[in-house]
Structure 1
Amino acid sequence: MPVVETATVEDTASGRAPGRPRDTTLEAAVLAATVDLLLEGDTRDVTIAAITERSGVSRAAVYRRWASREELLAAALDSVRSGVELTRRGSSLETILSAYEQAAVAVDGRVGKLVKKRVALGLENESLRALSWERHVSRRRAPIAAEIRRGIEAGELDPSVDVEAMIDLINGLYYYQFVVRADSDDEETRSRVHAAVKLVWEGALRRPVAGVG
């Protein structure tokens, strides 16, 4: 496969102005190649050399976008995940339940395998785990955090609720379905996620103030 470069020395010096958008086609090719290699076999074989050979993009072009193998792996593992999309429902609980139920079904066989790969790689590689958290996972939590805070402001949840801890609990229950439990159909998974989110939510409901009322 021919190796593709994104810019010559002359391009960098004069023809490519600072701030010019990157070639997203090349980025997509590298990410797709990395994902394919991760799915095919041992993660130790997913080297920069293997990625450049599969994608047809040069090593120099790869390193212009990702400073390290870990950075590229983190981006590739996240590239198959869709962002959390919240559709407003009657309450914050209903809004979050809907989001997690949809996300549970969206984790199909291919995405599920990559979720497991990410967990395993994170346990083995501290740098990769930190990059995944800082650049991808923490950002995906933001809409859920905002909705929980909305629930607190609306009086639905207790003001003492630790938002980050609550998300950790819900996400832990969510990931358990794909990392630990045996395969099951979408309806079973959706039902378990629904029950788990409700259980956590009920523990965070606003409590009546003692001696009031």
Structure 2
Amino acid sequence: MTITTKPAPGRTQDADLTERILEATEQHLRAHGFSGLRVEQVAQTVGCGKTAIYRRWPTKEELAAAVVTHQADPGVEPDTGSLVEDLVIHQEQSMIHQSYEQGLRGERPIWGILIEPGVRDIVDEQFIAARRERGRTIVARAVSRGEVPPETDADALLDMIAGFSFYRTNVRDERLTLASFRQVASTVAGAPPLRIIT
């Protein structure tokens, strides 16, 4: 990734500066992780003052979360009439958000910074919560079609698929395929986790 280290002559447009700050922050996160992220180093890389960064993102957590959500796209809500196919599409959309991690062996994965509580809370509020609600809708439709029992635990089902994908990409550094999504979705849909009634 090429980072422009000096602003263009004349007044830098706000959108351009924002983009360059996010690119530089991503570069620093990949090289040093969240604990090694220093706003002053990002500012130096971009060629701006720290104030320009803090004006956009008042905390380091908000800056890191902005990098995570910058390329995120909620996609469209799938409704194929099949739980398995809807889950495959839903998970594929989730993986598009992580697709730029591929081919970057040796660098820290950006989505891996979600283990930082402050970053995770912001990303959850701005992005993940809406995706989770969409997943619950997919499962609810499957219940209404009789594909899975009414006591299916939608959150546990979604966690099983998302956890598999997150572990494979962020821990094992493997590329996932639609075939692997379909295999996991088929397995989970065939024997879905049920809510525990106490």
> What is the TM-score normalised by the length of structure 2?
0.73
- Of 180, 183, 192 in structure 2, the residue corresponding to residue 195 of structure 1 is 183
1:116 paired residue number: 109
The answer to whether the Cα contact below 8 Å between 2:22 and 2:66 also exists between their aligned partners in 1 is yes
The answer to whether the Cα contact below 8 Å between 2:85 and 2:182 also exists between their aligned partners in 1 is no
Deviation sequence 1:74-105 (CA, Å, 0-9, x none): 11022233324334323233222233246547
Q: Would you say 1:59 and 2:59 are equivalent positions?
A: no
- Of 96, 99, 115 in structure 1, the residue corresponding to residue 90 of structure 2 is 99
2:3 paired residue number: none
1:173 paired residue number: 164
Q: 1:161 to 1:87 in 2, by over 3 A?
A: closer
The answer to whether the Cα contact below 8 Å between 1:145 and 1:164 also exists between their aligned partners in 2 is yes
The answer to whether the Cα contact below 8 Å between 1:70 and 1:127 also exists between their aligned partners in 2 is yes
**Percent identity among equivalent residues?**
23
1:139 paired residue number: 130
1:16 paired residue number: none
The answer to whether the Cα contact below 8 Å between 1:66 and 1:72 also exists between their aligned partners in 2 is yes
1:36 paired residue number: 27
- What is the Cα deviation at residue 111 of structure 1? 5.4
Q: Would you say 1:157 and 2:148 are equivalent positions?
A: yes
Q: Map of 1:14-33 to 2, 5 A cutoff? A: 23-33=14-24
Aligned length: 185
Residue 29 of structure 2 aligns to a residue whose secondary structure is: helix
Give the partner amino acid of 1:151.
A
Residue 160 of structure 1 aligns to a residue whose secondary structure is: coil
- What is the Cα deviation at residue 150 of structure 1? 2.0
- Of 76, 81, 93 in structure 2, the residue corresponding to residue 90 of structure 1 is 81
Give the partner amino acid of 1:38.
L
Higher helix share: 1
CA distance in 1, matches of 2:121, 2:93: 27
Q: 1:115 to 1:94 in 2, by over 3 A?
A: farther
CA RMSD of aligned residues (A): 3.3
Q: For structure 1, which runs of at least 5 residues remain unmatched after alignment? A: 7-22, 207-213
Give the partner amino acid of 1:129.
R
CA distance in 2, matches of 1:84, 1:78: 13
CA distance in 1, matches of 2:156, 2:11: 45
1:19 paired residue number: none
The answer to whether the Cα contact below 8 Å between 1:5 and 1:58 also exists between their aligned partners in 2 is no
CA distance in 2, matches of 1:129, 1:103: 16
Give the partner amino acid of 2:38.
T
CA distance in 2, matches of 1:59, 1:84: 34
